[in-house]
Chains A and B, each alone.
Chain A
Amino acid sequence: EADIYQTPRYLVIGTGKKITLECSQTMGHDKMYWYQQDPGMELHLIHYSYGVNSTEKGDLSSESTVSRIRTEHFPLTLESARPSHTSQYLCASRGTGSYGYTFGSGTRLTVV
């Protein structure tokens, strides 16, 4: 079954640690996105990619970085986590010529 997978589902980590949030999709979609969502709030785009080796920053400034070396994989990295990074991170994808979006289940990150 085609889907989009995010790991870990929950992560509690200490300040200053480096973390990578994983996102993989099996649909061959060229466009992928990372959104950040605080509890009870709207989603904000922090990164997106048109395809392999293409990444751009979104509308909300973020200290995270992303890479797109393979079509199916779009990991997000925080070099030094801080409490202000505590949030939910949602990954999504969309295929060329498609109007629909598929979202992963999200990673709930807590930095203590």
Chain B
Amino acid sequence: GIQVEQSPPDLILQEGANSTLRCNFSDSVNNLQWFHQNPWGQLINLFYIPSGTKQNGRLSATTVATERYSLLYISSSQTTDSGVYFCAVGVSARNTGKLIFGQGTTLQVKP
């Protein structure tokens, strides 16, 4: 099956710094999502981005589908950005919405 690899596994930043998280996937996908899981376990959907670039405030994401990777950019990081960032992909032709998750990048933002 499709493999999803995220890097780096762990990241420690000082508040105000910028960061880039990477997601590589091993096959063509028709669905790619970025999620943030806060320290209390709640998962928030950040982006649906199977291709192209999107921005939402201090966060932006780019997916280059032909090269099978996606990047999540966090600018001017805040302590509330801490948590685990997951990339998840979907390959179903039936639009089932099933997702395969990467192992996540654990981000700690220090004040």
Binding site for B on A (CB under 8 A): 31, 33, 35, 40-45, 48, 50, 58-59, 88, 90, 92, 94, 99-103, 105-106, 108
Contact = CB atoms under 8 A, between A and B. Distances in A.
B65 interface: no
B43 A42 contact: no
Contact of A101 (B40, B41, B45): B45
Interface residues of B, number: 23
Nearest to A45: B98
Main secondary structure of the interface of A (DSSP, over half): strand
B86 A100 contact: no
20 contacts: A33-B97, A41-B103, A42-B86, A42-B101, A43-B86, A43-B101, A45-B98, A59-B98, A59-B100, A88-B41, A90-B43, A92-B43, A99-B48, A101-B45, A101-B99, A102-B45, A103-B42, A103-B44, A105-B41, A108-B41
A42 B89 CA distance: 13
